[in-house]
Amino acid sequence: MTLRLGDEAPNFDQDTSIGRINFHDWAGDSWVVLYSHPADFTPVCTTELGRTARLSEDFARRNVKVIALSVDPVDSHARWIEDINDTQQCEVDFPIIADEDRSVSELYDMLHPNAAATVTVRSVFFIDPAKKIRATITYPPSTGRNFDEILRVIDSLQLTDGYKVATPVDWKDGDDVVIVPSITDEAELKQRFPKGYNAVRPYLRLTPQPNK
């Protein structure tokens, strides 16, 4: 199954490290970051889950729930979490899906035979409160994810949902943003962007981040 931006995130019932969940019910009205790991007790994954745990307040501040996935069973997850907490100096308190039957991996197209025949690649799905897939990132098993980038994508999605702006190259929270080209009325521009804007070109107008 190939998922595209704007598609509804498929629902599922599956065992996790915190018990059995219905994914949509568990997500509730939050944003969700769903990301997969090739297997338990693997070095790169251990560092990623530790980083996720240490960023728990940053995710909570953005109304984001995080859920991980690995193709190993719940009892393996429990032992692995002990290792993660010990080696990464953290407390993993978010669920890890036990996708032993690979049903969720197949539902979300996380198995890429040309990259790894039996384990998932490092997929990331950004899912909004309406359960729509808003962004995806896919890494090979050998490359650990950049969680600063994951937070940056969330910040961009949430900002651009609320204002008629887009975020330019290398943007980070607090930087100037781009006014969308569809706004041409000067009165509307003044109303929406009271801090003013710099028209580098008619189609390239920079303005201070509206919610700062």
| 179-182-187 Cα angle (round to 5) | 75
What DSSP element (H or E) covers 132?
none
Rounded distance between C-alpha atoms, residue 174 and residue 212, angstroms: 7
- HEC secondary structure over 134-155: EEEEEECCCCCCCHHHHHHHHH
| 119-121-124 Cα angle (round to 5) | 135
90 is catalytic: no
Q: Backbone phi, then psi, for 104, in 5-degree steps?
A: -70, -40
Catalytic residue among 9, 45, 55, 66: 45
Q: Would you name the residues annotated as active-site residues?
A: 45
